[in-house]
Amino acid sequence: MVNPNVQGKKYPETEPYLVGREKIREFAKAVFSTNPINLDVFAAQAAGYTDLVAPPTFAVVIQERSLNAVLSDPEADIDFSRVVHGDQRFVASRAIVAGDELTSVLTVASVKSLGAHSMITFNTEIFDAKKELVSTAISTLVVRGGE
Partner 1 sequence: MDILSLTVGQEIGSRTFHFTRDSLVKYAGASGDFNPIHYRDDFAQSVGLDGVLAHGMLTMGAAVQAAVDWVGDSGKVIDYGVRFTKPVFVPADTGAEVSVTGKIGAIDIENKTVRVDLSASCVEVAVLGKAQAVVKF
In the complex with partner 1, the residue whose CB is nearer, 44 or 76, is 44
Q: For partner 1, what does the binding mask look like between residues 13 and 52, x meaning CB under 8 A?
A: ----------x--xx-xxxxxxx-xx--------x-x---
Only one of the segments 2-10, 83-91, 103-111, 119-127 lies at the binding site for partner 1 (rule: CB under 8 A); that segment is 83-91
Shortest distance, position 58 Cβ to partner 1, whole Å: 8
Residue 84 engages partner 1 in binding (rule: CB under 8 A): yes
Distance of alpha carbon 46 from alpha carbon 42, whole angstroms: 6
How many beta carbons lie within 10 A of that of residue 135, not counting itself? 24
CA 93 to chain centre: 14
Strands (DSSP E) found in the chain = 17-18, 83-92, 101-114, 117-127, 133-143
Q: For partner 1, what does the binding mask look like between residues 121 and 140, x meaning CB under 8 A?
A: -----------------x--
Of these, 92, 105, 109, 119, which contacts partner 1 (CB under 8 A)? 92
Shortest distance, position 108 Cβ to partner 1, whole Å: 19
Kindly write down the DSSP assignment for every residue of 106-140, as one continuous string. EEEEEEEEETTEEEEEEEEEEE-TT--EEEEEEEE
Residue 55 engages partner 1 in binding (rule: CB under 8 A): yes
Shortest distance, position 144 Cβ to partner 1, whole Å: 9
- 108 CB contacts (<8 Å, ≥6 apart)? 6, 7, 8, 9, 10, 70, 76, 120, 121, 122
Shortest distance, position 140 Cβ to partner 1, whole Å: 9
